[in-house]
Structure 1
C-alpha cells in the first residue's frame, strides 16, 4: 500500500473555555475541508475517554501532495494561526501507510 499519508495530532487544551472555542474552530475548519479537499480521505476529531481537555485528530490524505494541498487552504491556515491561543501542548506524529483498507473516495 503505497498510497496514503496520514498524521495523528494530540492537542491538550488550556481549560474548558478554551476547549469549547477550539471545538468551534474545528467545526468551522471542517466545513472547508469537506467542501474544498477531495484528497483528504479522513479528517476526524476525537475526544479521548476521560480526557475532556484533549483532542486527537486522525487525518488521512490520498498522498503527500494532498496533504500539501490541505496545508495551503485558507481555512487550514486560519486554523493553524488561531489554535495557538487555546493550547497547552501539541504532539504531531506523521504516518506512512504500509497496509490496510481505505474507503473509496466519493
Structure 2
C-alpha cells in the first residue's frame, strides 16, 4: 500500500535572520581560528600579547612551553603567517610583537554574533 505524506511548507519563523558568512570572509577568519586552535600556539600568542606592546625575544621563549626549539619556531611561523604577530630580526634573534589589527576582524566577527 502506498502512503501519501503531506507537503509541509516552512513557517516564516524558520527563515534565517541573516545570510551565510561569505566564503572569502570565512577563509580569512579561519586562518586566525586555525592559528589559535593549537593550545601551545594559543599560549605562545597569549604570552607575547601579555607583554604590553613590547617585543618578546625568541631566546626567552625556549623552554617555557614544553616543546622543542624547532616546534616553537613552527608555532611562531604560523602566528606570523596568520597576521597575529610581527617578527623582527635583531642580530641573530627574532623578536615578536602582537599585531593589534591581526585580531580586529576576528573580534568584529565574534561581536556580531547574537
Give the shorter-chain TM-score range: under 0.3
Compute the TM-score of the two structures, normalised by the length of structure 2. Answer: 0.26
Which of the two has greater strand per residue? 1
Q: Which has the larger radius of gyration?
A: 2
Compute the TM-score of the two structures, normalised by the length of structure 1. Answer: 0.27
Higher relative contact order (CA 8 A, sep 6+): 1
